[in-house]
Chains A and B, each alone.
Chain A
Amino acid sequence: MNAALALGDDALVLAQRLGEWAGNAPVLEEDVALTNIALDLLGQARTLLSLTGDEDELAFRREAHEFRNVQLVEQPNGDFADTIARQLYFSVYQELLYGALAEGGSELAPLAGKAVKEVAYHRDHAEQWTLRLGDGTEESHRRMQRALGTLWRFTGELFEPLEGLAVELPALHAPWRERIAGVLGRATLEIPEGADRTAWSAGAGRQGVHTEPFGRMLAEMQYLHRAHPGASW
């Protein structure tokens, strides 16, 4: 499998999910913060998908089973805690991944060197909110803890070996867990204890098996291009 396609799909799908917050975030400032992050990810997706083929064809003309993103990034936004939990899990992973890629000499190294700075900011944003929600009110603590628990079962897939990638993903699992545990500890939250993968979800996104909400997200993302092929601004 093409590693650039897999990482590009991760970035593209998460950008689309974060973009759904435009006009809907709890406050205007968060609207801008989340869509800023979405735009960074969209930029990464464009570079990565262009390494594989035509970016528009890949983004707008593939069916759900042809996408290679992990299932974590396609999970619905839920409430603000769900979004922040997803951001925390994914941005810590992406920062480790891009950091390792940037040090290597693969064709993805230049992209990773640029993206790792963007992702460091995404991780900081998620961390700041995790601290405030976890150590905030009783309700914010409860919701953040629940969100962390709900998404936990999608985190194992992040560290499945990825063919053609210059980084050993399983080797990132321990540092990832250590960093997550550090943030959660400061936020007075518990690291979830359940399984980090299930029989039906382990590594499935990378093989084109996606969860049910993904189809609806894709329909919205691809509608315009499919209805008006070649449309442009």
Chain B
Amino acid sequence: MSEGQRQEGGGWPLWEVFVRSRRGLSHTHAGSLHAPDAEMALRNARDLYTRRAEGVSIWVVPSAAVTASSPDEKDPFFEPAADKAYRHPTFYAIPEGVKHL
């Protein structure tokens, strides 16, 4: 197959991949990939993101279905949260042995 025929993702839709690394944790965004449909996206995700035994469960979501906040809206979205220390649980001591808090 010549170089010219190898287009990015073969014109296939883009999928976002979420992997749960072990029981008790939530699915975490691992990356994205191209696939012709959801079933193939799952299989490609298995090959790309879990081949070193990183996961027990995979979700794939069409990238087009994700609505993202825009960088232009960064200030109105996030800045008001920064100067209100009382919103953060910083005044508690975290018990020993509690991970993932």
Which residues of A approach B to under 8 Å, CB–CB?
24, 26-29, 32-33, 36, 79, 121, 124-125, 128, 132
Contacts and interface: CB of A to CB of B under 8 A. Distances in A.
Contacts of B51: 36
Interface in B47-75: 47-48, 51
A124 B43 contact: yes
B43 A33 contact: yes
A24 B33 CA distance: 17
B1 to A, nearest CB: 6
A29 B9 CA distance: 8
Query: From DSSP, what is the main secondary structure of chain A's interface residues?
Result: helix
B36 A132 contact: yes
Contact of A24 (B1, B34, B35): B1
Contacts of B47: 29, 32-33, 36
B1 A27 contact: no
Contacts of A24: 1
Given A32-B47, A33-B47, A26 B1 contact: yes
A123 to B, nearest CB: 12
Given A36-B51, A128-B40, A128-B43, A29 B6 contact: no
A27 B13 CA distance: 12
Contact of B10 (A26, A33, A36, A124): A26
Interface centre among B12, B34, B43 (most CB of A within 10 A): B43
B14 to A, nearest CB: 11
A29 B48 contact: yes
Contact of A29 (B5, B33, B37, B39): B33
Given A32-B48, A36-B51, A27 B12 contact: yes
Interface of B: 1, 5-6, 9-10, 12, 33-37, 39-40, 43-44, 46-48, 51
A27 B43 contact: no
Contacts of B40: 128, 132
Nearest to A27: B10
A27 B47 CA distance: 14
A121 B40 CA distance: 13
Contacts of B9: 27-29
B39 A27 contact: no
A33 B39 contact: no
15 contacts: A26-B5, A26-B6, A27-B10, A27-B12, A28-B9, A28-B34, A29-B34, A32-B47, A33-B43, A33-B44, A36-B47, A79-B1, A128-B39, A132-B36, A132-B37
A32 B12 CA distance: 16
B46 to A, nearest CB: 8
Contacts of B34: 27-29
